Amino acid sequence: GPRPAPSAPAVLPALTAAKAAQDPAGLRAALTPLVDAPGLGKKLAASVVDTATGEQLYGHGATTPMTPASTIKIATTTAALSVLGPDHRIATTAALSPDSRTLTLVGGGDPTLAKADLRAMAAEAADALREDGEDGEDPAGPVRLTYDVSRYTGPELHPISPNENIAPVTALMIDEGRLDGSDRGPADRTDDPAGDAARAFAEALEKAGVQVTGAPREARVADEARTVATHRSAPLSALAERTLTNSDNDIAEALARQTAIAKGEKASFAGARRAVTNELKKLQLPVGGAHFADGSGLDRKDRVTPALLTALLARAADPDRPGLRPVLTGLPIAGFSGTLDGRYERDAAGTGLVRAKTGTLRGVNSLAGTVVDRQGRLLAFAFLASGSTSAAGAEPALDALATALAGV
Catalytic residues, by residue number, are: 70, 73, 247
Strands 378-386 and 364-372: antiparallel
The enclosing H or E element of 76 equals helix 73-84
CB atoms within 10 A of CB 215: 11
Nearest to 312 by CA among 59, 74, 73, 34: 74
Nearest to 308 by CA among 323, 331, 293, 289: 289
* Residue pair 114/175 in contact by the 8 Å Cβ criterion: yes
Laid out side by side, the sheet with 210-218 consists of 210-218, 140-148, 102-106, 91-96, 226-232
* Residue pair 369/71 in contact by the 8 Å Cβ criterion: no
Query: Rounded to 5 degrees, what are φ and ψ at 120?
Result: -65, -40
Helices (H), 247-299: 249-262, 269-282
